[in-house]
Amino acid sequence: MTGSTQLALADDLLTRLRRTTTEPRPDEQLEALTLAVAADLPVLLWGEPGIGKTAALTRLAESLGLPLTTVIASVHEPSDFSGLPVVGDDPEVRGVPMAPPQWAVRLVRAGKGLLFLDELSTATPAVQAALLRVVLERRVGALRLPPGVRIVAAANPRASAADGWELSPPLANRFVHLHWVHDQDVVVRGLGGVWPRAELPRLAPERLPEAVDLARRAVCGFLTARPTLIHRLPGTESRRGGAWPSPRSWEAALTLLAFATAAGASREVLAALIRGTVGDGPGLELLAHLDRMDLPDPETLLADPAAAVLPERGDLRQAALEAVVSAVGARPGKERWEAGWAVLVRALETGAPDLLVGPATTLAALRRDDWEVPDAVERLAGVVGLARRADRSVHQAAAADAARAAGAHR
The answer on 364 and 327 residing in a single domain is yes
The answer on 143 and 213 residing in a single domain is no
The answer on 132 and 231 residing in a single domain is no
The answer on 129 and 214 residing in a single domain is no
pLDDT in tens, 400-409: 555 565 555 5
To which H or E segment does residue 377 belong?
A: helix 375-409
Distance CA 254, CA 233 (A): 19
pLDDT score at 89: 63
The answer on 220 and 185 residing in a single domain is no
Identify the domain containing residue 386 by its residue range: 298-409
Average pLDDT of 321-327?
91
pLDDT in tens, 186-206: 889 888 988 888 888 899 899
The answer on 162 and 59 residing in a single domain is yes
pTM score = 0.77
Instruction: Write the CATH number for 38.
Output: 3.40.50.300
The answer on 242 and 192 residing in a single domain is no
pLDDT in tens, 158-167: 666 556 688 8
Question: Which of 252, 276, 294 finishes a domain?
Answer: 294
The answer on 231 and 123 residing in a single domain is no
Q: Return the closest-CA partner of residue 68 out of 1, 8, 151, 179.
A: 151
The answer on 185 and 54 residing in a single domain is yes
To which H or E segment does residue 191 belong?
A: helix 184-191
Do the domain assignments include residue 91? Answer: no
Do the domain assignments include residue 334? Answer: yes
The answer on 68 and 114 residing in a single domain is yes
The answer on 113 and 71 residing in a single domain is yes
Q: Give strand pairing partners of 114.
A: 68, 150
